[in-house]
Amino acid sequence: MRNKVCIIGSGPTGIYTLKQLLLAENPLTITIYEAEAEAGKGTPYLPGMNDPAMLSNIPSIEIPPLHETLVEWLRGRPNDYLNDHGIIRDDIHERQFYPRLVLGDYFHAQFMSLVLIASQRGHHVEIYPGHRVVDIAVTPEGMLVTVTSEREFSAIFDHVVLATGHQWPAEKQSQPGYFTSVWPASSLQSIRGGRLGILGTSLSAIDALMTVATSCGSFLYDEKGDLTFQISLEFEDFSAVMMSRKGLLPEADFYCPLPYLDPRICTRHAVRALISRGSTGLLDNVFELFKQEIIMADKHYAAEIGLSTLTVDTFADAYYERRANSDPFVWAAQNLAEAEQNITAKYTVPWRYAIMITHEIIAEIVPHLNAVDFARFNKSFKNIFIDEYATVPHLSIKRILALHADGRLEIQNLTDDYDIITNSQSPGVTIQTSGASLRFDNFIDATGQGPLSAGELPFPTLVEQGNVQEAPTQGPIALLDRDDVPVTKRTGGIDVDEVFRARGPGGITNRIYCAAIPYLLHKMPFVQGITSAAEIGAIVAKAITEDQMEERKHGIMTA
């Protein structure tokens, strides 16, 4: 019976996969390999990888249920734990944001609870922290997984779930003063004063900035209750510049009903009906549904940006126009005040919510777009959805404003043709644009995780065997083969079926499930964070248990 399951990674995706596997009627033997020394936390929430100043951008109300909610777990923590993390017991709330390290402790506790539940239900779970999977091979006996720890060994499994999460550059610094990633945050603590450049303005960039800022000074509340920044005397020369092509800060988290309400026009049914007609005109037709949804939700906003005249190619410019024409710090302060007022009043900005509740529905069209429309979607339209769901904790905005008020922070708008110039003779970098040359003592690339493709999997035999391949995108309708079938080309990511099984050249040739988000980003642009981890984990676990039941049923029938 196919009851041996291997989960590679014990972060949120691995945890939610485990949770759903425990619903299997027949006993499973589940082996979990975790490269890090601590299992059940995940890279985004792991000590060392993250600094105490780094905040998560998901509140308890949005975290899919595990053994207990984050709020329930926090209320059970002793006062010393809460004090260590700056949490006031009376302020614990389902819509509050907490440090990443707190979420790591929460997930670890839920993980261990699931392991106990597994035993009670007759399943056998083995956890191997500090064990890195270095290769996978498909064999007639099953999936051969090679693992290294103090020694190297291999084991055969019926199902393998790739829940490896993010992959960051192995090299922390490409040269002294040039940090290739925000993570591990512990490496950033070596930055002591000087002029800091940060590429990016998202929450990851803010996290990087806060890690350095809190090692050079402190955030304190004044007598009016406003957050201020006080520099340490030995780091008086500390300053920072955050840079991006738009030169915009993310906006503050806004109040809205949760779980999401259903759209009235741009519905899942309507979008799927358009998908069924084929790729020709799909993107533009769905955009018309999207426009109508916004008009119905907020006619004033629609008129203000001239929505009726906009296309999928011009909407983003109109969406960003007011923010782009404002000082980013003035806009941030005004947006924060509005968001705080709306939370108190429990008021939802209609046009914002219309964008939010349609983004996952519109994402369904991406695998069905031809190559031309796929490029159009990625160029601008995709980004407005990301901007809405990637809003940040209010405390993050307050810290940004405090640094700026103290003269420590600027925002720089980069041109499309900027260059990063290094000099092996001196640390740091120079950013060269068409109109300026910016020199930094230290520089952090905080642009985050980009999409990865099949060839970048760290399992060489699996790649060599051809049991994973890049996801296809249909060619433009003008490019047809001799049978008038649209041409396809391989454009990145890992090709998976509807339950995330990797497709080989001959179809589904193994039971390897790709639940690693970097390899899904190409065709699932809004796959993100904990909610996606839960959804993917549930789908994968259900497929495994159904496969096991089918095999058992077939065995009984043949017997």
pLDDT in tens, 126-170: 999 999 999 999 999 999 999 999 999 999 999 999 999 877 666
Which tens digits make up the pLDDT trace of 512-557? Answer: 999 999 999 888 888 878 999 999 999 999 999 998 887 766 654 3
Which residue has 């993100």 as its token pair? 528
Q: Which of 275, 248, 271, 257 is nearest to 354 (CA)?
A: 257
Give CA–CA dist 103/74, Å, rounded.
10
Give CA–CA dist 408/413, Å, rounded.
17
pTM listed for this prediction: 0.91
If pLDDT is split at 50, 70 and 90, which confidence band does 481 have?
very low
Which residue has 């509050």 as its token pair? 96
Confidence at residue 527, expressed as pLDDT on a 0 to 100 scale: 84
Q: Are 172 and 184 in contact (CB under 8 A)?
A: yes
CB atoms within 10 A of CB 365: 21
Confidence at residue 400, expressed as pLDDT on a 0 to 100 scale: 98
Q: Are 120 and 22 in contact (CB under 8 A)?
A: no
Which tens digits make up the pLDDT trace of 153-212? Answer: 999 999 999 999 877 666 666 788 999 999 889 999 889 899 999 999 999 999 999 999
Confidence at residue 172, expressed as pLDDT on a 0 to 100 scale: 64
| Range among 43-47, 82-86, 474-478 rated most confident | 82-86
User: Which CB contacts under 8 angstroms, 24+ apart, belong to 426-433?
Assistant: 427/175, 427/176, 427/177, 427/178, 428/176, 428/177, 428/178, 428/194, 429/177, 429/178, 429/197, 431/197, 431/243
pLDDT above 80 for 38:
yes
- % of the chain surpassing 70 pLDDT: 93
pLDDT above 90 for 214:
yes
Give CA–CA dist 106/37, Å, rounded.
17
Confidence at residue 479, expressed as pLDDT on a 0 to 100 scale: 43
Q: Which of 177, 169, 170 is nearest to 431 (CA)?
A: 177
Q: Are 198 and 211 in contact (CB under 8 A)?
A: no
Which tens digits make up the pLDDT trace of 253-311? Answer: 999 999 999 999 999 999 999 999 999 999 999 999 999 999 999 999 999 999 999 99
Which domains are seen in the chain, by residue range? 4-167+450-558 (3.50.50.60), 173-250+393-445 (3.50.50.60), 268-389 (no CATH)
Q: What is the mean pLDDT of the chain?
A: 91
Give CA–CA dist 459/481, Å, rounded.
34
Confidence at residue 487, expressed as pLDDT on a 0 to 100 scale: 47
Which residue has 């300026």 as its token pair? 436
Q: Are 497 and 503 in contact (CB under 8 A)?
A: yes
If pLDDT is split at 50, 70 and 90, which confidence band does 483 have?
very low
- On the CB side of 359, how many CA atoms lie within 13 Å of its CA? 21
Cis peptide bond upstream of 65, omega within 30:
no
Which residues are 217's β-sheet partners?
A: 231
Give CA–CA dist 24/3, Å, rounded.
10
Which tens digits make up the pLDDT trace of 64-95? Answer: 989 999 999 999 999 999 999 999 999 999 99
DSSP symbol at 170: S
pLDDT above 60 for 18:
yes
Give CA–CA dist 83/89, Å, rounded.
9
- % of the chain surpassing 90 pLDDT: 78
